[in-house]
A and B are shown apart, each in its own frame.
Chain A
Amino acid sequence: MIAMRGLKKRFGTHEVLRTLDLEIAAGERVALIGQNGLGKTTLLRCLLGLYTGDGVLTVGGLDPRRDRREVLRFVGFVPQLPPGIRATVAQYLHVVTRLCEVTSAAIRDTCETLGLTIDDLAHKPFYALSGGMKQKLLIGVALARRPRLLILDEPAANLDPRARGAFFEALSRLDESTTMLLTSHRVDELSGLVTRLVELDSGEVVLDDVVAAAPALDRTLACSLTLERIEPSVEKTLREWGLQPNSSDDSTWQGQVSAVDRFRFLALLTRWSGLVRAVRIEESNP
């Protein structure tokens, strides 16, 4: 799906991408990781045909700069920061449906699965939506297009745990041949989501590794958590993760956690190590 050989990108005297060689096959789910400012977004912009570079870069066998329309017809993109679009949501969706081969009904349905009802927001300016709403809308649009290549630049950064779960589930419904390229500066954000890790440092690939046994994206784990005592901030966070108190015992909370997010959830528990009495996480729909 993606092939780059000797790809270089320089801004003035600063070389951001140095002779990058990378091949990504159709259907691979690749995490592009690395610290901020080390070339991830630059690489994505080259793939989207927004930057010119030296070397060979093809997407689906085409040059993303020269054949941009043909390439971008099968590419879905979610940027790191939502764009400051001044149009209303309805106007924005009108443009998307005119430019991309997607219907507003498909976008509406996809957004619904992410917990966003766009009919209520139609007349609001896009920029006035909350960060989470914008992210859900952008993800909804990208997924509704049923792209062959999905490029997600830190996609879940603004999503709450429940929306993240819904997002992973929505990803799981994509065709298996869909190639995904996701970026993050944190490995734990993406490790459960991908089949391959590529780390960039100073514009070079310093790690290219297969992720063993990545879980199915729609798999959930049954979780039970017993606490010494419950505090308001803890209660709020647990509810955001979709956990509910046991009807007979306020100190025990139960619910489903996305398998992709399991280590994120465990990392959260480390913050409350003094409060946690017992944790039980197990397969619920193997």
Chain B
Amino acid sequence: MAQSERTTILWLELRETLRARWFQLYLLGFVGLMGLFFVFGLAESQVMGFHGLGRVLLTFIQVTLVVLPIFVLVTTARTLVGDREAGVWEYMLSMPVGFRSYYLGRFGGRTIAMIMPLVAALLGGATIGALKGQSVPWTAVVYYAMIVVALTVCFLGISMLISVTASSQEMAVGWAFAVWLLSEALVDALLLGLLIRQRLPADLAVGAAMLNPIQAFRTAAVLLFDPELTLLGPIAYTLLDVMGRPGLLVWAISWPTAVGVLCAVVGLVVFARRDVV
């Protein structure tokens, strides 16, 4: 019964998301971006030792790192709170559906919708590269797909928590921006600045960086093509030193996923226990 309810809500969420203008923009943005990389010959150029499909993937991941968190946070938090304000929750939850099924169905549908364009762009890029006779770093493609999924789950989980706790769309968007700013800020540059100016213990800076999903994502993304992390800051280098290459690669997938799932579960508990509209 609950499984059927969840699937029903998941399909509804997926279909509603696919119809939304912002999603079409999102889809066009990421898939179109990958296409543009090929059109403008990024795969044929070489900068700082990166070339071929590896350069395309790395550039794509760098753009994803900037765009994905804020896009997921703002659209999800705004849409869900907007639905609550527009009476959708009240009406849907007046039908015989469990709170848990409704919440998980929406979370699942939104996750699939947000992941699809990214994975399609990555696989599409690899396929085009292969058709053009370039060597495809399949390990990197698969790993990138996995960390993109992990990052999406991370920020969707945070967005779900914001959605059930924020009192209005404005508050939800405000919280979404605050989370994004914090996660973007706690990377190498700012941590290093704090380390020097405030004489913070180095372990604290490294710990903060490790706990920041964006730093984990960023470090792991570059690590595949730059094993010494010479292009990133000292915090990333220290992370590599502390965790080792395999540890860092696993951490970049497991930690953001854990953060997302934890936030989603806290959101579910809040949703099921308090007034839902």
Contacts and interface: CB of A to CB of B under 8 A. Distances in A.
Chain B associates with chain A: yes
Interface of A: 45, 48-52, 68-70, 72-73, 75, 77, 79, 81-88, 91, 94-96, 98-100, 125, 138, 151
A82 B9 CA distance: 19
Nearest to B91: A83
B96 A68 contact: yes
User: How large, as a class, is the contact surface on chain B?
Assistant: 20 to 34
Contact of B90 (A45, A73, A95): A45
Interface in B59-116: 82-83, 86-88, 90-99
B4 interface: yes
Contacts of B87: 79, 81-84
Nearest to B95: A99
A87 B12 contact: yes
Contact of B16 (A49, A79, A87, A96): A87
Interface stretch (B196-204, B218-226, B269-277): B269-277
Contacts of B83: 84
Contacts of A84: 82-83, 86-88
Given A68-B96, A72-B96, A50 B15 contact: no
Interface of B: 1, 4-5, 8-9, 12, 15-16, 19-20, 82-83, 86-88, 90-99, 273-277
A95 B90 CA distance: 15
A52 B275 contact: yes
Contacts of A88: 19
Contacts of A86: 16, 19-20
A99 B16 contact: no
A145 B101 CA distance: 21
A96 B94 CA distance: 11
Given A69-B98, A98-B4, A99-B96, A50 B12 contact: no
